[in-house]
Structure 1
Amino acid sequence: MQKHWSYKPLPEDGEVAELQQQLNVSSAMATLLWQRGIYTFDAAKHFFRPSLKDLHDPFLMRDMDKAVDRVSAALNADEKILIYGDYDVDGTTAVAMVYGFLKKKHVNLLYYNPDRYTEGYGVSKQGIDYAKEQGVSLIISLDCGIKSADKVAYARSLGIDFIICDHHEPGEELPEAVAVLDPKRKDCIYPYKELTGNGVGFKLLSALCQTRGWEWAELEEYLDLCMVSIASDIVPITGENRILAFYGLQKLNASPRISLKALMNVAGTQGEMNIESVVFTIGPRINAAGRIRHARAAVELLLSEDEDEAMELAYAIQKHNTERKGLDARITEEALDLIKRDPWLYEEAWSTVLYKEDWHKGVIGIVASRCIENFYRPTIIFTKAGEDYAAGSARSVAGFDLYGAIEACSEHLIQFGGHMHAAGMTISIDKIEDFRKAFDGEVKARLLEEQRIPVITVDLEVHLSELTPKFHKVMKQMSPFGPENMQPIFVSHNLRARTAQVLKEKHLKLEVVQDGFSFPAIGFGLAPEFYRELASGRPFSMAYSLEENHFRGNTTQQLFIRDIKLA
């Protein structure tokens, strides 16, 4: 697939000289910092040394005082509290964190995750009925609830109060809960808007620690779960998220909780964990429980404090993940075939909307992402979820407001929710074709021509000689990397391959040479397109990131190839 290389702006001559001198770093490193808005020594100090002291006061969040008062009243009166969370990584880690922390303070506590297939996303009537049966008088919802005004009203009619901790975009009507904690509320002055659902729960626990005199160190023990939610929910790694992720990774690498250690063991992880490795190892396995069976299995594992039990639960989840991979591969193949066999969808559409009644609901979001890898356009995958309705999962391309486009077509939907990059929805099966046409019309009206081609955002053009061990050591301190603080991508020109190999018939392994300086390089899936030309000695330009390769206990530097342009 053709990719466009978009270069970030560069500072004017001499603009980073002072920063370079103060930090004793190379010009290239000072430029990387400048591109991230770091212009002074003090700003660099805060960036390289995140501090938990820089977290915002939780009481800046709208309704936090009401939430703390209601939870305190429930604790003082020994009321039964239900911790309710969504079935994805954000929701399950949030439940494990809030339940695990409060359980040490309050015995009368239950937790609940909805079934993806029988209850669907968000707060369910079934969950509220369960709470009523158990004598619950307060529900704390995590990573869901902001669009559940009807369910909150139903709970209130049963004498059950609600505190909502959510991070999704609110609708026009806020639920009439005791407290609605969501930094994206229009009337909320909280300075940082990009917290996960877990992060909002963390702020609630922080406020309770302040009010009730609980030890902050007890809450710090849950930073690893907070970090897993930040990594897996693909939120910006800026501001508070960067601080929480930084310390969460520290904990994961220094003293991981038993459950996460078990997941890393079954995944066969090597070397130090970072955001990317969490996204590709821990996240999918936690998600697999809710996709294939029930999210409760993930929460049970995350709460486990016994090594043998944790390993047993982790192996069960590993089986779910293996099953998920098989479903993912089969359904992706079917989806791509449907696109290729439909002339309008293949040649004229600017979006992809597909429906097949027997596709597994647990993997349609992954399939949407796989389709975008092959046909770069906003994608929605539907599958049958009831007698006459379907559930859909949507994914976006870079920079396109998917939520806004879906909202503009909402007359065709039963319900929907999400954010700019991903969304979920329910629709009557007989409305899918109307929605498909309306959505494609919105995409054509809103999507810029340049957004139809995948973009590689390049930080710097460098010579291989600049990638010294010191440069790499400083660059690693710019982590955690993720959205809005991505791992730097470099471009080098006039390269040749001293050696070129094909691994597993599709991956490209090179020794890249430039003016006598060489680096090993790996490019996944690039062999069919580039091997023959590179092996012949043809010069090329390469976009890549500088990474570490962990193999049999050894750690070496290597270039991870993002794209190649032949000379």
Structure 2
Amino acid sequence: MNSVILEQPWHFFSPDPSLVNELAAKSSVPPLIAGLLFHRGINTTDAVTSHLTPVLSSLSDPWKMAGMEPAVERLIQAVKRREKITVFGDYDADGVTASTLVCRFLHDLGLAVDVYLPHREHEGYGLNPEAVKKIASTGCSLLITVDCGVSNQEEIALARSLDMDCIVTDHHEPPPALPAALAVLNPKRPDCRFPFKDLAGVGVAFNLIRALRHRLFELGHWKGSVHPNLKEYLDLVAIGTIADMVSLLGDNRILVKAGLEIIESGARPGIAALKVVSSISSGSVSASHVAYRIAPRINAAGRMDHSETAFRLLMERDAGEAARLAAQLEALNRERQAVERRIMAEALKKIRGMPGRDAYVVSDGGWKKGVIGIVASKLMNRLSRPVILLAEDALEAHGSGRSPEGLNIYEALSCCGNHLISFGGHKAAAGLRLPAASVDEFTTAFEQTVASMLRDRDIRPRLMIDATADVSELLAPEFAEIYEQLEPFGHGYPEPLFAIHNFTVKRSAVVGRRHLKLTLGPDAPEDILIPPGELELVGWGHGDKIGLSWDEFEIACIPCFNEWRGRKRLQLKLWDIRQK
């Protein structure tokens, strides 16, 4: 049975009740939360404790990362000789925060450090020969890549021929043959003993700085003076990690939880200025604040102009200059939103003339490369089919593709490789480049490949419900207390979705002209003891549903906290409804 809002069937997780109750009892958490943690793989008392109270001392040992020893030794040599270093980053939020982290730490050591961030439109992703030659001409003797470099064999070889040593820090899937750098730090290397594999680029860079600081401390570099507190860098790590959509579990959860506290403090002028233009109040900062407000503004620099503006903002120590740079990012983000809306409208118009396709490849000569990935993602969610958008010029088309769960777009592109100049990515997202003259042939081949892959698969979307809950369970004081410890939520660890069916609607209203607000209470006989109180449920954009007979429906909702004037209280966010 499909639902009313999303028009999707609901699928319920159903872990063994006896195992869930045992975990709840041993871990002293409500059964509702124990069930949620259990089916997410957090199914022992030790795992629950570590998850609810993550501490920095539990981070993986950076020295277990393959290549760390030679990387640190080379950096120690650079510190002693006061060498010229260049950090080569990526133009997205992960690359910019990683570049800022490494540059700031090395700069504070007294080193001459340059940064090179490639132009998205003119240079594309990763190292390129012209950039390497330009860096060498500045007298650089040590090149450090962040969030890129693991696939740049030719460019690293060129750098070595120009008398530059190279340290590669990256988190993307490594090719069979690594570049011949002095050190390649990447937890996904097959020979890497670092236990946590899903770091963002900024996470890999942070581990390099952890190890370097440790070795410098052992060597007595600071000679009794105050040595740098790496916790102060975790705001950058949190932003890059959340923005790059790596899983918020393990080391990432520890880093992000601590980093959000630094963001709240407003210690870094650039991030404090971003909070102002993003309308983030002085209260607590959540992962969603970073994902939907801070990160898009950092990314807007690289998408619409040059990521150097974002880098300068994060490096800036003067509050006035930071405010000016943040205003520039705000303007770029508004421009990005307008361009995105235009491309979305144009793409939808083209798609309406292509009904019933298993996959959609849509191209245009007037689309901006830096924005088509966002639009492809939104179209994929809307159509539940693989979508590739191509920005064409006279000679080439540059594309970005997204695919729903159950279909591997990287695998599909591999089957069409003879039509492409290059491509890369993973099962859910990919980038590609092809001759403009080959767009039609590629489109046909890709659609046929996807049709073949879908022949025995069902990729229709289903709403995954974590658990069924009564309002009385959500009103219990211990639920809100423990639920708050489950944050931060994000990619790989989404906000829990509960189905509620035993409730009464005490009050209902339409607020802000189009938003629904229901006040829910428990639905139970009067002789049953239940926690007193009520819960507010907010349905953004669903004011038209105020007249429903709510006793005939189940509600799918996400618990969240609403903070107002220093008071934090549990609230429900409407996600979907279906008839009982």
Q: What is the match of residue 297 of structure 1?
A: 309
Instruction: Please give the residue correspondences for 1:193-212 in structure 2 after superposition, counting only pairs within 5 Å.
Output: 193-212=197-216
Residue 165 of structure 2 corresponds to which residue in structure 1?
Answer: 161
Looking at structure 1, the residues matched to 454 and 94 of structure 2 have their Cα atoms a distance apart, in angstroms, of 29
> Do residues 325 (structure 1) and 337 (structure 2) align?
yes
Verify the 8 A CA contact 1:372 1:379 in the aligned structure 2: yes
Aligned equivalent of 2:297? 285
Question: Is residue 2:538 matched to residue 1:522?
Answer: yes
Asked whether the equivalents of residues 61 and 189 of structure 1 are also in contact (C-alpha less than 8 Å), the reply is yes
Is the aligned partner of 1:151 residue 2:159?
A: no
Deviation at residue 498 of structure 1 after TM alignment:
5.4
User: Residue 478 of structure 1 aligns to which amino acid in structure 2?
Assistant: L
Query: Which whole-Å deviations, capped at 9, do the CAs of 1:74-111 have from their partners, x for residues lacking one?
Result: 22222211001100000000000110111111322101
Deviation digits for residues 419-446 of structure 1, max 9, x if unmatched? 3332222221122222223333333344
The aligned counterpart of 1:486 is 494
Equivalent residue pairs, number:
558
State the secondary structure of the residue aligned to 1:90: helix
Structure 1 residues 507 and 378: alpha-carbon distance in aligned structure 2, compared to 1, 3 A threshold: farther
- Does residue 432 of structure 2 align to residue 428 of structure 1? no
Q: Which one of the candidate residues 13, 16, 21 is aligned to 1:11? A: 16
Query: 2:468 matched to which residue of 1?
Result: 461
Q: Quick one: structure 1 residues 552 and 17, their matched pair in 2 at CA, closer, same or farther if it must change by over 3 Å?
A: closer
Is 1:52 aligned to residue 63 of structure 2?
A: no
How far 1:381 moved relative to its partner? 1.2
1:406 equivalenced with 2:422 (yes/no): no
Q: Which segment drifts farther, 267-276 or 17-26?
A: 17-26
Matching residue of 2:347 = 335
Q: Please tell me whether residue 558 in structure 1 is matched to residue 563 in structure 2.
A: no
Task: Give yes or no for the alignment of 1:416 onto 2:423.
Answer: yes
State the secondary structure of the residue aligned to 1:20. Answer: helix
In the alignment, the residues of structure 2 paired with residue 23 and residue 107 of structure 1 have an alpha-carbon distance, to the nearest angstrom, of 49
After TM superposition, the structure 1 stretch with the greater mean CA deviation from structure 2, 229-238 or 497-506, is 497-506
Equivalent in 284, 288, 293 of residue 272 of structure 1: 284
1-side partners of 2:59 and 2:201: how far apart? Answer: 16
When structure 1 is superposed on structure 2, of 535-544 and 81-90 the one drifting more is 535-544
CA 1:444–1:507: 2 relative to 1, 3 Å: farther
Q: Distance in 1 between matches of 2:285 and 2:383?
A: 31
SS of corresponding position for 1:457: strand
Q: Partners in 2 of 1:509 and 1:169 — Cα distance?
A: 46
Gaps of 5+ in 2: 1-5, 525-532
Q: Secondary structure at the match of 2:229?
A: helix
Q: Secondary structure at the match of 1:484?
A: coil
> Aligned pair in 2 of structure 1 residues 527, 407: CA closer, same or farther (>3 Å)?
farther
Q: Give yes or no for contact 2:381–2:404 (8 Å, CA) kept in 1.
A: no
Do the aligned residues in 2 keep the contact of 1:381 with 1:394 (CA within 8 Å)?
Answer: yes
- Please give the residue correspondences for 1:51-450 in structure 2 after superposition, counting only pairs within 5 Å: 51-213=55-217, 217-270=228-281, 271-342=283-354, 346-347=355-356, 349-384=357-392, 386-447=393-454
Correspondence for 2:527: none
**Separation in structure 1 between the aligned mates of residue 334 and residue 564 of structure 2, nearest angstrom:** 23
**Counterparts in 2 of 1:268 and 1:433: CA distance versus 1, 3 Å:** same
Bigger Cα displacement from structure 2, 440-449 vs 261-270: 440-449
Name whichever of 402-411 and 137-146 sits farther off.
Answer: 402-411
Q: Indicate if the aligned counterparts of 1:4 and 1:453 stay in contact, CA closer than 8 A.
A: no
SS of match in other structure, 1:276: helix
**Do the aligned residues in 2 keep the contact of 1:147 with 1:171 (CA within 8 Å)?**
yes
Tell me, in whole angstroms, the C-alpha distance in 2 between the residues paired with 1:472 and 1:450. Answer: 40
1:97-128 deviation line (CA, Å, top 9, x unaligned): 11011111132210110001111111123321
Alignment partners' CA distance in 2, 1:405 and 1:10: 34
Distance 2:17 2:428 in 1: 34
Q: Take 1:410 and 1:505, find their aligned partners in 2: how far apart are those partners?
A: 51
AA partner of residue 42 (structure 1): D
Query: Using the alignment, how far apart are the partners of 1:73 and 1:226 within structure 2?
Result: 26
Change (3 A) 1:417 1:161: farther
Q: 1:411 to 1:76 in 2, by over 3 A?
A: farther
For 2:257 and 2:212, the matched residues in 1 are separated by 23
Give the direction of change, closer, same or farther, for the CA distance of 1:422–1:381 in structure 2 (3 Å limit): same
Judging changes above 3 Å, is the alpha-carbon distance between structure 1 residues 448 and 506 closer, same or farther for their aligned structure 2 residues? farther
Question: 1:542 maps to what in 2?
Answer: 555
Match for 2:75: what amino acid?
V
Higher mean displacement: 164-173 or 78-87: 164-173
Inter-CA distance 8–311: structure 2 relative to 1 (3 Å threshold): same
CA contact (8 A) 1:398 1:451 kept: no
For the 8 Å contact 1:149–1:175, the answer to whether it is kept is: yes
8 Å CA contact 1:224–1:256 kept in 2: the answer is no
Partners of 2:206 and 2:63 in 1: CA distance: 12
- Residues 566 and 9 from structure 1, CA distance in 2 versus in 1: closer, same or farther, beyond 3 angstroms? closer
- Residue by residue, what CA displacement relative to the aligned partner does 1:294-329 show, whole Å, maximum 9, x if unpaired? 100000000111111111111111011111111111
Percentage identity across paired residues of the two chains: 37
Q: How much has 1:23 moved relative to structure 2?
A: 3.9
* 1:178–1:445 CA distance, 2 compared to 1 (3 A): farther
- Separation in 1 of the partners of 2:463 and 2:554? 14
Matches of 2:14 and 2:271, distance apart in 1: 40
One-letter amino acid of the structure 2 residue matched with residue 261 of structure 1:
A
- In the aligned structure 1, how far is the partner of 2:492 from the partner of 2:503? 29
CA–CA separation in structure 2 for the residues paired with 1:67 and 1:335: 46
Change beyond 3 A, Cα 1:60–1:298: same
Q: Per the alignment, do residues 374 and 216 of structure 1 end up closer, same or farther by CA in structure 2, a change over 3 Å counting?
A: farther
Do the aligned partners of 1:508 and 1:527 also contact (CA within 8 Å) in 2? yes
CA distance in 1, matches of 2:391, 2:173: 24
CA distance in 2, matches of 1:230, 1:538: 42
Do 2:269 and 2:316's aligned partners in 1 also have CA atoms closer than 8 Å? yes
Kindly tell me: are residues 184 and 318 of structure 1, through their superposed partners in 2, closer, same or farther at Cα, counting changes over 3 Å? same
**Secondary structure of the structure 2 residue equivalent to 1:297:** helix
CA shift, 1:503, in A, is: 5.9
Letter of the structure 2 residue corresponding to residue 439 of structure 1: F
Partner of residue 25 from structure 1, selected from 25, 29, 33: 29
CA–CA distance in structure 2, aligned partners of residues 504 and 417 of structure 1: 44
Secondary structure at 2:464 match in 1: strand
Q: Is the 8 A contact 2:406 2:459 kept in 1?
A: no
- Which stretch of structure 1 is more off in the superposition, 550-559 or 330-339? 550-559
